Amino acid sequence: MKDAKVIELEEVAIRFSGDSGDGMQLTGTLFSDATALVGNDISTFPDYPSEIRAPQGTVGGVSGFQVQFGKKEVTTPGDFAHVLVAMNPAAIKANARFMNPGGIIIYDSDSFTEKNLKKAGYQTDDPFTESNLLDFRKIGVPVTSLTREGLKDFGLDNKSVLRSKNMLALGLVCWMFNRPLDYIEEFIRNKFAKKPVVVESNIKVLHDGYNYGMNLQHETPTYIVHSADIENGTYRNINGNQATAWGLIAAAERAGLELFLGSYPITPATEILSNLSQRKDLGVKTFQAEDEIAGIASAIGAAFAGDLAVTTTSGPGLALKSEAIGLAVMAELPLVIVNVQRGGPSTGLPTKTEQSDLLQALYGRNGESPVVVLSASTPSDCFFYAYKAAKIALERMVPVILLTDGFLGNGSEPWKIPDVSELPPITPRVAKSAETFNAYKRDENTLARDWAFPGMAGFEHRIGGLEKSVIGTVSHDPENHQKNTEIREGKVQKVVDLVPDIEVCGDSDGDVLVVGWGGTFGHLISTVRELRKEGKNVSLAHFNYIKPLPKNTAEVFQNFKKIVVCELNMGQFAGYLRDKVPGSHYYQINKVKGLPFTVNELKEGINKLLED
């Protein structure tokens, strides 16, 4: 047999898709981890169905995982997939619109039965024509029957055999893209160490898929994506929820405090709770509460007792925590609230991404109840902003809300592991002298009070949700309330001293300034880079500090003819900017489909603005 054709690529996006029981998330994760170990830069997008268990074979039950990897910096998981691995007809129907023209579709031909086609909503026996996928290379592979044949001597029941289908598909794609199998084999051996038959059967099918790929040489070439040129260091593939958990652990260590997390499990924030619960060896204490209110109430108790206190949630959970956040504001205790945003309102789209909790984070409490609001931009920098949220809370005695989202929390990328000793120092405002201690005595520069907790003799004081006088007694005096309200807001605004100036990616003046915040960064920076390559005078200002805004925000904005705010909501940050940074006209590009932006749709919107 002649040698297979090998094609070199700069970058490629692969989408694994099938029924929610087909193991597509594990398949995509293992391929991504193996790819990161090879040295490629990657960005991933797990796309879960919203229903816990939608009817098998239906479009509503399709689970997807997209990964883009390359030899250069990769900032998005890709607008469209170059390769689709489809385990059933529903996966074709659900993903037809996400395919790159001329791409490759690898599908389990055994699953394309009349029954499954009807379940997926097809009217004919030709799903590719019906989905307008004519100009694609389609490779049918009998994944199910090959898996059954490969495991016929293992004595497994049919259900157990079919659970291994994803390994055959993974082996095949690893062959196509020259990914080594060593890491995947090691993962399987570790994960199923107590079940030898599961280990051997999965590894057998993995190699069957890889070997089957060699027989496809007449149908498809193999592809090579060379390693990226990245800074030397120790890296790992990390998702946003893991990074958030580790950032909090690092902050506790740097501050010399124990970390306490009080939380209620909720999609997609639960992984932060599960990650922290595994770190008892690092002194982490976790409490899985019976509800959202109990979760934050326990965290406030831990803050009162002298811990780095954290609570995590998503969407409707933040609404339930609102009253207790107000208590933390009034008691002036350090507290970090992590909100992994998802589609709403109410239960909404629990597994889909959105940025629509911004106004709730800023204003969603009774009374004048100011808190610091930060947002992370990429999966890996969730580590830094979790760390920074803890630093601000502990040094300024103020609650801090950190906004991430489902796209960041579930998505992953390579992360260079930092040296904790090189992270910014954290100095909690622990009271020093009992003789001069007054719970509501202020630092003149920061307006922060000192932190005293049970067990510190001589530092006893009143605390709670009622307004206090300067000496700590309950006060209903109107002038006192006016003064304290202004102090609490002023304390948050003075955090601007810890906020770096906003940096512009591109020219410092020009035709259009693209403005974004949080998890839209990857798509926005890719869009701006492409437009600049086309000669367009476009720059980007991306915000991680929402309240307070960076000092130079107005100065940056006044240097551009047009400002367009791009966010995954109906315009919450744009409205906030109109209030806080008046003087500019803010155009908007908004999307609320439970999906991240695509570079194509952003380019289209910005080009229209340039043409007007």
| Average pLDDT taken over every residue of the chain | 95
pLDDT band at 5, cuts 50/70/90?
confident
Same domain, 282 and 331: yes
Whether residues 28 and 50 share a domain: the answer is: yes
Q: Give 330-349 pLDDT, tens digit per residue.
A: 999 999 999 999 999 999 99
- What is residue 232's predicted lDDT score, i.e. its pLDDT? 83
Q: Is 573 helix (H, G, I), strand (E, B) or coil?
A: helix
Q: Which residues contact 457 (CB under 8 A, 6 or more apart)?
A: 434
Dist CA 97 CA 79 (whole Å): 10
Evaluate if residue 51 carries a pLDDT over 80.
no
Q: Give yes or no: residues 323 and 244 share one domain.
A: yes
d(C-alpha 426, C-alpha 308), whole Å: 11
Same domain, 186 and 291: no
pLDDT at 543 over 80: yes
Per-residue pLDDT, 32: 96
Among 398, 422, 446, which residue terminates a domain? 422
The residue range of the domain holding 543 is 504-611
pLDDT in tens, 165-194: 999 999 999 999 999 999 999 999 999 999
Q: What is the mean pLDDT of residues 257-263?
A: 98
> Per-residue confidence at 4, pLDDT binned at 50, 70, 90?
low
262 shares a domain with 214: no
Mean pLDDT of 289-303: 98
Q: Is residue 473 part of a domain?
A: no
Looking at the structure, tell me whether residues 248 and 271 fall in a common domain: yes
Count of the separate structural domains present in the chain: 3
Q: What is the pLDDT of residue 233?
A: 86
Q: Does 153 have pLDDT greater than 80?
A: yes
pLDDT at 441 over 50: yes
Which H or E run includes 435?
none
Domain membership flag for residue 451: no
Is the domain of 402 the same as that of 537? no
Task: Read off the tokens for 424.
Answer: 């910014």
Is the pLDDT reported for residue 479 higher than 90? yes
Does residue 196 carry a pLDDT above 50?
A: yes
Shared domain check, 190 and 263: no
Q: Are 413 and 44 in contact (CB under 8 A)?
A: yes
pLDDT of residue 1: 39
Average pLDDT over residues 376-386: 97
Q: Dihedral of the CA atoms 308, 311, 312, 317 (nearest 10)?
A: -160
Statement to judge: residues 163 and 127 lie in one domain: yes
Whether 19 is in a domain gets the answer: yes
- Read off the pLDDT of each residue in 141-146 and give the average, rounded to a whole number: 97
356-to-163, 403, 547, 552 alpha-carbon distances in Å: 37, 10, 16, 25
CA distance 46 to 64: 6
Task: Give CA–CA dist 465/463, Å, rounded.
Answer: 7
Per-residue pLDDT reduced to its tens digit, 72-92: 999 999 999 999 999 999 999
Q: Tell me the average pLDDT across 37-58.
A: 88
- The confidence score (pLDDT) of residue 507 equals 97
Residue 478's contacts (CB-CB under 8 Å, 6 or more residues apart) are none
Instruction: Give the pLDDT of residue 220.
Output: 79
Tokens of 338: 């992590």
Residues 213 and 291 in one domain: no
Q: Which of 178, 193, 223 is the last residue of a domain?
A: 223
Same domain, 198 and 319: no
Q: Give the CATH number for residue 340.
A: 3.40.50.970
Question: Which of 422, 445, 469 is the last residue in one of the domains?
Answer: 422
pLDDT reading at 2 higher than 50: no
* Any domain includes 478: no
Percent of the chain predicted with pLDDT > 90: 91
Classify residue 476 by its DSSP letter.
-
In the predicted model, what is the mean pLDDT of residues 548-564?
Answer: 98
CATH number of the domain where residue 29 is located: 3.40.920.10
* Residues 24-35, mean pLDDT to the nearest whole number: 96
Q: Is residue 447 part of a domain?
A: no
Under the banding of pLDDT at 50, 70 and 90, the label for residue 229 is: confident
* CATH number of the domain enclosing 519: 3.40.50.920
350 inside domain: yes
Return d(Cα 422, Cα 216) in angstroms, integer.
50
- Please report whether residue 232 resides in a domain: no
pLDDT tens profile 315-331: 999 999 999 999 999 99
Please tell me whether residues 157 and 251 are part of one structural domain.
no
pLDDT of residue 431 exceeding 90:
yes
- pLDDT (mean) for 399-408: 98
pLDDT at 52: 72
